Amino acid sequence: MTDQYAAQDSPDTGAGNGLPDAAAGVGSPSTSAGNQEPDPAGRESSDAGAQDPDAATRHLAHKSLEADDPTGWFEELYSAAADGRAVVPWDRGMAHPLLADWVSTAQPEGAGKRALVVGAGTGWDAELIADLGYDTIAFDISPTAVEAAQQAHPDSKAQYQVADLLNPPTDWHRAFDLVIEIFTVQALPIPIQPTATRQVSEQVRAGGTLIVIAAAREDDVPDDEVEGPPWPLTRASIDAFAKDDLRLIQLDRAPSPSDPTSYRWRAEYLRD
């Protein structure tokens, strides 16, 4: 395994404060609003979202957590965004630069292979993977996010569907040659992350590859000092994706160009 603590900037257009850049595909779909992230329910929240999307997102997430519904805010945010009442802070309008860089370097061949994109949001990462020839399933817990992806990519080769990372379809188990996880696990409270991590890993088939991109946190920062979302991943959390015969073979850690104090992991795993 190569462990690179790179000093160079990695292309990253995500929020410098580390808010998740991708939609979440976890938990139980909420019927209160509509898409992948929180929807400002009140007028005041909607106005705040227009002024500061990151703050509005955290406000919605905290309300959801207080209601013991750690994933309900995803649908609320996407629903509000669909109505023009909110902005999804991590909707980049393109594939994540760290994923695009991996594709450019690794040049994976997708013909005859299957791929799974976790927490696909509005679909930009999934479109990149599908264009490589992979038979691609891209899922999100938010029905509104899935609908937005289908509308944004009407001629897509990817299959967009609603699913729950914490309880995925049984026929997905170890069924994919490539699994892409970008900022979904970190959007979940720390106690839920081990379950989400295990489910991500369990979808990779023998000989398959897993790519994980996440905000980084130092191992010596206590969990109770992290106020999410997001809840960035420690090195130990990155190592936790490697289980059974799934091995970590490449790890890069580089500063975000928008905030030199904020780092991103990009990890590549291979199942023997």
DSSP string, the chain: -EEEE--SPPP--S-TT---SS----SPPPSSS-SSS----SHHHHHHHHH-HHHHHHHHHHHHHHTT-TTHHHHHHHHHHHTTS---TT--SS--HHHHHHHHHH----TT-EEEEET-TTSHHHHHHHTTT-EEEEEES-HHHHHHHHHH-TT-SSEEEE--TTS--GGGTT-EEEEEEESSGGGS-GGGHHHHHHHHHTTEEEEEEEEEEEEB--TTS-GGG--SSS-PBPHHHHHTT--TTEEEEEEEEEEETTEEEEEEEEEEEEE-
pLDDT the model gives residue 256: 80
Taking the chain (272 residues) in runs of 10, the rounded mean pLDDT of each run is 39 37 46 32 37 74 83 86 83 90 97 97 97 98 96 97 96 98 94 96 98 94 87 96 96 84 95 96
Residue 181 β-bridge partners: 118, 212
pLDDT the model gives residue 257: 66
Residue whose C-alpha is closest to residue 106's, from 215, 184, 180: 180
pLDDT the model gives residue 84: 84
Can you tell me the distance from the alpha carbon of 182 to that of 184, in angstroms, rounded to the nearest whole number? 6
pLDDT the model gives residue 137: 98
pLDDT the model gives residue 52: 72
The overall pTM is greater than 0.85: no
pLDDT the model gives residue 16: 33
Distance of CA 252 to the CA centre of its chain: 17
Can you tell me the distance from the alpha carbon of 25 to that of 192, in angstroms, rounded to the nearest whole number? 13
The values of phi and psi at residue 178, to 5°, are -145, 130
Can you tell me the distance from the alpha carbon of 31 to that of 46, in angstroms, rounded to the nearest whole number? 19
pLDDT the model gives residue 57: 79
Asked if residue 15 lies in contact with residue 261, where contact means CB atoms within 8 angstroms, the answer is no
